[in-house]
Amino acid sequence: MGKLQTQIALILMSMPILAWSTEHVEKEMPQAQFSFQHQSFSIGSQVQDERFKRDGMANPGNNQARSQFQSSDLFGRMNQYDATFSYPFHTNKNFNFDLGVNLRFIDGDMIQNGLEQSQVRFNTAMPMLYANALYSLPNSGLSASIGASHFEYDQYYALDYKAKLRYQWEAGFGLEGGWQHQQLTIDGPDIQAEIQNTGPFLDFNYRF
């Protein structure tokens, strides 16, 4: 997109979100866990270019600029990869409180429609602080949890929270679903963007 100061609001269109994940319980540290998750989103937005605005209004003296401001749309797909390492800092018979780090990588390929169609590539990586509280029903395979991740540095701000129910079979396969909110804000010199995803999700996972 070049050296343009742009404001982008991305609205994720695919709901519920389908995802897959794997979990590994460390043999050296039996309570430590490592998990990896992949999610894919369809997105759409409108792009607002600050070059064509004055005091919050489109510049009426430039018809070409106003046309670009009104008709620039962004569509495409975005992939999100999360690698999380966590350890239970507090545990009792049925309750765990885990802390850890979630390394997130986001990659998107999008098309911007305006006066001229152009391709937009977006990718970034963020180490996020991770916390999760989990309650397990004994001998049932059922559990409920609430978790959150947060990152704030330089031009990036990210906040996630998720509430979910899980059923885990003895063979290692599991199914979980619930409600999640994800927010990513970028406030850089070249681009300003806000990406939000709120809604139900369904996750197929395997634990080994």
Note the pLDDT tens digit of each residue in 66-110: 323 333 466 777 788 999 999 888 888 889 999 999 999 988 777
Assign 3 to helix, strand or coil.
Answer: coil
Distance CA 179, CA 55 (A): 38
Assign 17 to helix, strand or coil.
Answer: strand
Per-residue pLDDT tens for 124-180? 899 999 999 999 998 888 999 999 999 999 888 999 999 999 998 887 888 989 999
Q: How confident is the model at residue 7 (pLDDT cuts 50, 70, 90)?
A: very low
Instruction: Report pLDDT for 18.
Output: 52
Q: Say whether pLDDT at 10 is over 50.
A: no
Distance CA 60, CA 54 (A): 9
Query: Whats the size of the chain, residue-wise?
Result: 208
Share of the chain above pLDDT 90, in %: 27
Instruction: Report pLDDT for 53.
Output: 37
User: Comparing C-alpha atoms, which of 50, 110, 126 is closest to residue 74?
Assistant: 110
Q: Say whether pLDDT at 15 is over 70.
A: no
Instruction: Report pLDDT for 69.
Output: 30
Per the CB < 8 A criterion, the answer to whether 38 and 20 are in contact is: yes
Instruction: Report pLDDT for 50.
Output: 43
